[in-house]
Amino acid sequence: MNATRFSVLALAAALAATLTSAPAAFAGQGASTTYLNVRSGPGAGNAVVGGLNPGDVVEILRCNADGWCQIAGVGMEGWVASRYLTAGPEYPALNPGCTWSLDVNLPDPQFRAACPPGVEPPPPPPPPGDLACFFAEPSFGGTRTCLDVGDYAQLDPELAGTFSSVQISGEARVRLCTEADLGGTCMDWLESALSLDPRLDDKSMSAKIYVGYLPPPPPPPPVVQSEGSVELSLNGRVDLDQGDSGAAGADIWWRPQGGGSQVIVPVNGAQMSLGDGDDRGLHDCRAERFDATPIDAASLTDGAVVCLKTNLGRVARFSVDTADTSTLTLDFVTWADQ
Per-10-residue mean pLDDT of the chain, 338 residues long, equals 36 30 51 93 94 91 88 90 83 70 70 76 66 86 86 93 90 93 91 90 95 77 91 92 86 89 94 92 93 91 90 94 83 90
Domain residue limits at 146: 131-211
pLDDT of residue 245: 84
The confidence score (pLDDT) of residue 226 equals 94
CATH number for the domain that contains residue 162: 2.60.20.10
pLDDT given for residue 2 in this prediction: 45
- What's residue 127's pLDDT? 62
- Say whether both 187 and 257 belong to one domain: no
Count up the domains in the chain and report the number: 3
* Whether residues 91 and 167 fall in one domain: no
125 within some domain: no
Residues 232 and 325 in one domain: yes
- CA–CA gap between residue 122 and residue 240 (Å, rounded): 53
Looking at the chain, how many residues does it have?
338
pLDDT at 216: 74
Based on its alpha-carbon atoms, the radius of gyration of the chain, rounded to whole angstroms, reads 32
What pLDDT, on a 0 to 100 scale, did the predictor assign at position 14? 31
Tell me, yes or no, whether 240 and 204 share the same domain.
no
Give buried/exposed letters for 112-141 (b at 16+ CB in 10 A, else e).
bbbbeeebbbbbbbbeeebbbbbbbbeebb
* 307 three-class SS: strand
For residue 219, being part of any structural domain is answered with no
One-letter amino acid at 86 equals T
> Are 177 and 247 contained in the same domain?
no
> Quick one: 82 and 61 in the same domain?
yes
Separation CA 126–CA 148 (nearest Å) = 11
Residues 266 and 205 in one domain: no
Please give the Cα distance from 242 to 224 (Å, whole number): 11
Give the angle subtended at the CA of 221 by the CAs of 229 and 305, to the nearest 5°.
40
Q: Is residue 120 part of a domain?
A: no
Alpha carbon distance 293, 263 (integer Å): 10
Q: Give pTM, 2 decimals.
A: 0.43
Judge if 81 and 159 occupy the same domain.
Answer: no
The reported pLDDT for the residue numbered 239 is 95
Q: Give the SS3 label for residue 117.
A: coil
pLDDT at 46: 95
Q: Within a domain: residue 216?
A: no
- Same-domain check for residues 87 and 168: no
Give domain status of residue 126, yes or no: no
Last residue of a domain, one of 145, 177, 211: 211
Maximum Cα interatomic distance, the chain, rounded to a whole number of Å: 111
